[in-house]
Amino acid sequence: MGVRFVGRVQGVGFRAVCRDIACGFPVTGTVRNEADGSVWLEAQGSEEAVGVFIDSILERMGRLVQSHQQSRLAAVAGET
């Protein structure tokens, strides 16, 4: 799953919070700042685990997120 978060999501610890939340779920992936001020997150795991993980990010950081768009991505074998 790929998710683009738009809002006040850079310079506020957003990526670190995503990483910390991910440690509590059976998911793998990456999160990075984009040049346009958004944050791009890629997560893989079971559909349920990824969904709850993203919901947890929004629950904790949602006040900073104006919008987010999800897209399906192909799984990456061996990702950590």
Which of the residues are catalytic? 15, 33
Q: Among all chains, which residue has been given the structure tokens 């950590």?
A: 80
Distance in angstroms (rounded) separating the CA atoms of residues 19 and 56 = 12
Q: Are 68 and 28 in contact (CB under 8 A)?
A: no
Assign 1 to helix, strand or coil: coil
For 57, the enclosing helix (H) or strand (E) is helix 47-61
